[in-house]
C-alpha cells in the first residue's frame, strides 16, 4: 500500500513510524520490520491515514489525520505508540475564520511532549494535551487573505490592512 506518512523520533533512533490507509506501523529495528499498531485499525475506516508525527520527547505520543468524504477530515492522537487513539476535538472560540477542515500538518514542540501545532483548517492551531484538543494559535496572521476583514497596523496606526480572497467559492451570474 501507498505510504502516506513517515516519521522518526530522536528519543528512539532505531524506531520508524509510518502510516497508510490500513493504519499505523511501528518498526523497532530501524525499518527492517514493521508491526501494525493494533488500535490504528479503529481509525482507518477505509480512509487515508496521513502525515504521522511523533513527539521527539515521548515517542509514545503521536498524531495523524484521516481524510474523509466531503471534507470530513479528522485528527487523532495516541499516547501509547498507536495502540489506542482518540479523535481530536476543535475549540474554535478564538478563531475569526470558519474551520474548513483540511489536512493536518503537524509539528511537535522539541521539549514539551504534550505541545503540538498544526495548520490544517485554514488557521494555525495548537494542542497542549498531546493532540486531543486543538485551539486557535495565532497572532492574527493566518496565511489566508480574508475578504471583508481589516485591521490597523500595530506599529503604525496610519497603515491598515485589507484582505481579499475568493474564499469558499465566488458567486457567478
Residue whose grid cell is 493532540: 131
Cα(74)–Cα(36) distance, rounded to whole angstroms?
20
Using CA of residue 159, residue 139, residue 109, residue 7, what is the dihedral sign? negative
Closest to 88 in 3D by CA, of 77, 98, 73: 77
pLDDT at 118: 86
Of the listed ranges 51-60, 88-97, 110-119, 155-164, the one predicted with least confidence? 155-164
- Output 91 or 58, whichever has higher pLDDT: 58
Does residue 7 have a pLDDT over 60? Answer: yes
pLDDT at 154 over 60: yes
Assign 136 a pLDDT band (cuts: 50, 70, 90): confident
How far is Cα 99 from Cα 108, in angstroms, rounded to an integer?
21
Distances (CA, A) of 136 to 36, 104, 122, 143: 33, 14, 10, 13
Average pLDDT over residues 14-43: 91
Cell of 35: 508491526
The total number of residues shown for the chain amounts to 173
**Residues above pLDDT 90, as percent of the chain:** 40
Asked if residue 147 has pLDDT above 60, the reply is no
Q: Helix, strand or coil for residue 86?
A: strand
Confidence of residue 163 (pLDDT cuts 50, 70, 90): low
Identify which of 19-23, 66-70, 99-103 has the greatest average pLDDT.
Answer: 19-23
Report pLDDT for 171.
Answer: 46
Over residues 9-17, mean pLDDT: 94
State the residue for C-alpha cell 511532549: 113
> H helices within 16-134, ranges in order?
41-44
Residue 152 in contact with residue 160, Cβ under 8 Å? yes
Closest CA to 36 of 64, 58, 15, 17: 17
Amino acid at each position: 500500500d501507498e505510504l502516506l506518512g513517515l516519521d522518526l523520533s530522536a528519543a528512539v533512533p532505531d524506531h520508524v513510524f509510518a502510516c497508510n490507509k490500513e493504519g499505523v506501523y511501528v518498526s523497532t529495528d530501524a525499518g527492517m520490520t514493521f508491526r501494525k499498531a493494533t488500535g490504528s485499525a479503529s481509525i482507518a475506516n477505509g480512509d487515508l491515514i496521513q502525515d504521522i508525527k511523533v513527539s521527539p520527547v515521548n515517542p509514545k505520543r503521536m498524531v495523524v489525520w484521516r481524510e474523509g468524504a466531503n471534507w470530513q477530515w479528522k485528527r487523532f492522537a495516541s499516547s501509547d505508540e498507536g495502540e489506542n487513539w482518540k479523535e481530536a476535538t476543535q475549540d474554535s472560540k478564538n478563531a475569526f475564520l470558519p474551520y474548513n477542515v483540511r489536512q493536518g500538518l503537524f509539528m511537535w514542540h522539541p521539549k514539551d511532549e504534550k505541545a503540538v501545532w498544526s495548520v490544517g483548517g485554514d488557521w494555525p492551531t495548537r494542542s497542549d494535551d498531546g493532540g486531543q484538543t486543538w485551539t486557535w494559535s495565532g497572532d492574527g496572521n493566518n496565511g489566508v487573505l480574508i475578504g471583508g476583514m481589516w485591521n490597523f497596523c500595530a506599529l503604525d496606526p496610519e497603515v491598515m490592512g485589507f484582505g481579499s480572497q475568493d474564499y469558499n467559492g465566488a458567486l457567478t451570474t
